[in-house]
Structures are given as C-alpha cells and as structure tokens.
Amino acid sequence: MTFADVVKLAGDLPRVERGTAYGSPALKVDGKMFTCVPTHRSAEPNSLVVRVDFADRDELLANDPGTFYLKDHYADYAVVLVRLKKIHRDALRDLLRMSWRFMSVKRQRVHRPKKRAQ
C-alpha cells in the first residue's frame, strides 16, 4: 500500500484536500493535517502518521502492535504510526475516517498536556 492508496481511500470524505505537512505528502480537512507520510528518521519506511485521540491511540497500540507503533519523537502528539504493509485496506479506511472526524472537531487536543510541577 502507498500514499496514493491512502488518497483513494479518503477520496469520499468531505472537505479533504491534498497538501504537505513538514514537506511531506499529507491529507488535510479544513486546512488541518489528519494523515501524512512521516518525515522523522525514527519512523519505519512505508509508514503513515495518522492523527487520533490519545485513548484511541493507546487502544490501537495495545490491540495490534504489529500494525501500529509509536516512536519517542511522536509520543507527545495525538498520532499513531501505521505500517502500511500490515494494515488491511478496510481497517485503514476506518482509521482514516476516525482521524478525519477527530480533526474535523473545532477544539481538539493534539498535544499531550504538560505535567504541572508540584
């Protein structure tokens, strides 16, 4: 699976536009990136960055660590990394829809809150 396949799978989502994020191919909704090709060197080749809520990310990582993973660089962001060669087409379509909904909300948290000093 390639980013071109990702674009096709997200093709029926409203207000989706192709663009770039950090110089990498991306899909955006209302100008906000919801998926892109990772640029950080810690990401595995043929991966995808997908924005999801922290709770959804934790569930994905726990249920399918062969497909979903996280690297330290991405830990504080509401994203999960996806191994495109491991994910089924229907599962990726569902994940893209989840991400699209997450980023379509006007107020969402995309960074993990900082811990306050005690």
> What are 106-116's pLDDT values in tens digits?
655 555 655 55
In this predicted structure, what is the pLDDT of residue 105?
A: 82
Domain coverage including residue 16: 3-104
Res. 5: pLDDT tops 90 = yes
> What are 46-95's pLDDT values in tens digits?
999 999 999 999 999 999 999 999 999 999 999 999 999 999 999 999 99
For residue 111, is it within any domain? no
For residue 112, is it within any domain? no
Distance from C-alpha of 103 to C-alpha of 35, rounded to nearest angstrom: 10
Helix or strand (DSSP H, E) at 27: strand 24-29
For residue 52, is it within any domain? yes
**What is the number of structural domains in the chain?**
1
In this predicted structure, what is the pLDDT of residue 96?
A: 98
For residue 116, is it within any domain? no
Distances (CA, A) of 29 to 8, 25, 42, 112: 15, 14, 26, 21
CATH of residue 77's domain is 3.90.1150.30
In this predicted structure, what is the pLDDT of residue 78?
A: 95
For residue 71, is it within any domain? yes
Distance from C-alpha of 118 to C-alpha of 35, rounded to nearest angstrom: 36
For residue 40, is it within any domain? yes
For residue 117, is it within any domain? no
> What are 9-54's pLDDT values in tens digits?
999 999 999 999 999 999 999 999 999 999 999 999 999 999 999 9
For residue 84, is it within any domain? yes
